[in-house]
Amino acid sequence: MTITITAFEKSPDRGRGLARDMSVRWALEEAGLDYDVRLLSFGAMKEPPHLAHQPFGQIPTYAEGDLVLFESGAIVLHIAEHHGGLLPDDAKARARAITWMFAAVSTMEPPIVHRESAILTERDESWHEHRLPTLENRIRDRLDQLSHRLGGADWLDGAFSAGDLMMISVLRRLKSSALLDEYPNLSLYVARGEARPAFQRAFDAQLALFTAASAG
């Protein structure tokens, strides 16, 4: 059955692979699955046909036959549960890998998104410069803890899993800041994920779409 995901018609990340269709593309590539991409304008994302698939008017969505999913983490979990290579067979190891997926989106991502939103929406406020260090220290608290847990390991819990895929996708959002550079083992962890052939294929595919949209 054909898999179709949605993505930005012209991504505001300018092809840096930071929009959340990237983690879905990466998972599909790790699983060796073909997929189509339906590109949406900001306007179309807020129209009833898309809202029927994504109640918050966002990308990405995932459609396969009559199954329609939203939330990038849930989509990656669905792919991982139905195809090999992204979750361990052992039940306990599988549960731990899924725990890392939740840790990525529930524990690591919020302070990272708060900083991004502050920079986007509050940078002209008189108090912005005073608030930013607080937001960055909240991120550092989490990075300290994650760095400590990862230590010198390649991946968070044994072999590469959907937990690493989601965690690396979240950490990549820090690339435009210097925060990740303060943690050499986390920087290497992200680089290890980005070096995977499946990541490269996913990254190249979204970049090609951005380049085509910019040319057109």
Report the alpha-carbon distance of residue 161 to residue 158 in Å, rounded. Answer: 8
Handedness of CA 198, 150, 97, 67 (dihedral sign): negative
Beta strands at 3-8 and 61-64: parallel, antiparallel or unpaired: antiparallel
The nearest distance, CB 86 to ligand GTB, in angstroms, is 17
**Which run of H or E residues covers position 70?**
strand 67-70
Beta carbon nearer to ligand GTB, 116 or 157: 116
User: How many angstroms from the chain centroid is the CA of residue 119?
Assistant: 20
- Return residues touching ligand GTB (CB under 6 A): 12-13, 18-20, 45, 57-60, 71-73
Q: Which residue is nearest to ligand GTB (CB)?
A: 58
Beta carbon nearer to ligand GTB, 93 or 179: 179
Neighbours of 21 (CB within 10 A): 25
The nearest distance, CB 106 to ligand GTB, in angstroms, is 11
Cis ω before 197 (30° cut-off from 0): no
The nearest distance, CB 61 to ligand GTB, in angstroms, is 8
Beta carbon nearer to ligand GTB, 7 or 198: 7
The nearest distance, CB 15 to ligand GTB, in angstroms, is 10
Beta carbon nearer to ligand GTB, 18 or 213: 18
64 beta partners: 3, 67
